Amino acid sequence: MAKMNFGGVEENVVTREEFPLDKAREVLKDETIAVIGYGVQGPGQSLNLKDNGFNVIVGQRKDSKTWDKAVADGWVPGETLFEIEEACQRATIIQYLLSDAAQIALWPTIKKHLTPGKALYFSHGFAVTYKERTGIVPPADVDVILVAPKGSGTSLRRLFLEGRGLNSSYAIFQDATGRAFERVVALGIGVGSGYLFETDFKREVYSDLTGERGTLMGCIQGIFAAQYQVLRENGHTPSEAFNETVEELTQSLMPLVAENGMDWMYANCSTTAQRGALDWWRPFRDATLPVFQKLYAEVASGNEAQRSIDTNSKPDYREKLDAELRELRESELWQAGEVVRTLRPERNRK
């Protein structure tokens, strides 16, 4: 573990250079890793672990769409794919990658297979941080660890196949065996992390819930919708409004930010664009800061967690979710986006 300076603040990080894949395999050579759940994070993490040479199995409900997806991805029933209880029995490390609501429902089943010395692995601090609301309290004689890739399972797998990595945080909630650190770092390297930075379960879930509702998803959609609406109300066409709102940001400017930072992106835009951006970023910060402060307070109080638990546990949750997603998909903004994507040059190469 190395100390790295981030803007004057030192943090603990682990890189693939100091903890290479061979070392990770050696640490986990006698372990059986059971990935429970094959939804958002399960496919990417399990396939990356398998391709990296770890002993990994998948636990999933039989006769479900996700069971069929696992079979299609190459997991073999009775060999590497099992019902959830059997996978937990076979495992020394249980990666609990179901949705937060599903983790609550299945916890009594999982808990009885957490025998001394096993490790319980999360990719989200939700269940343990809000244990008074979830009822998830791990036994004292197992390691409780976390690796949280900073992106979707789809991105984790895609970057892995490109020979790249997705940065992840790691945390240790409980070290019952004395091996929790080497276990969590080996798993982080195994699932395809670029580098690992230290956190704890509470900080992970607070930052994650804030980010998802903020700049990663909720805020960015709100900003897109507002700018698109203003442009359309002032006579701009859907194509022009979408290109100036979404396409240029995602296809041109964000890659420049990813390469070398915001100042470098500014320096590679016109002087008119630079001037306007420098003049306007503070008013946008000042306008949104109270919203982010309110959001963080709702996360820290547990209100956001409770809303998620209550909503996601309802029997008609999937139906209502599909309706909300359909509303987004069928909005003029994203209908315009669908057309624009078909016109990108790479889609039209012979």
Helix axes 218-233, 332-342, angle to 10 degrees: 90
Query: Can 124 be counted among the known catalytic residues?
Result: yes
**In terms of C-beta density within 10 A (0-12 exposed, 13-18 middle, 19 or more buried), how is residue 346 classed?**
exposed
Please give the full DSSP string across 192-252, using - where no structure is assigned: TEEEEEE--HHHHHHHHHHHHHTTTTHHHHHHHHHHHHHHHHTT--HHHHHIIIIIHIIII
Question: Would you put residue 156 in left (φ > 0), alpha (ψ -120 to 50) or beta?
Answer: alpha
**3-state secondary structure (DSSP) of residue 265:** helix
**Residue at token pair 């009594």:** 108
- What does the DSSP 8-state code read for residue 77? B
**In terms of C-beta density within 10 A (0-12 exposed, 13-18 middle, 19 or more buried), how is residue 143 classed?**
buried
42-72 in b/e burial notation, b at 16+ Cβ within 10 A? bbbbbbbbbebebbbbbbbeeeeeebeebee
Q: Which candidate, 85, 148, 81, 157, places its Cα nearest to that of 121?
A: 148
**Residue at token pair 């006769």:** 63
- Of 124, 157, 183, 232, the catalytic one is 124
Q: H or E segment at 148?
A: strand 143-149
Q: H or E segment at 150?
A: none
Query: Which residues are part of the catalytic machinery?
Result: 124
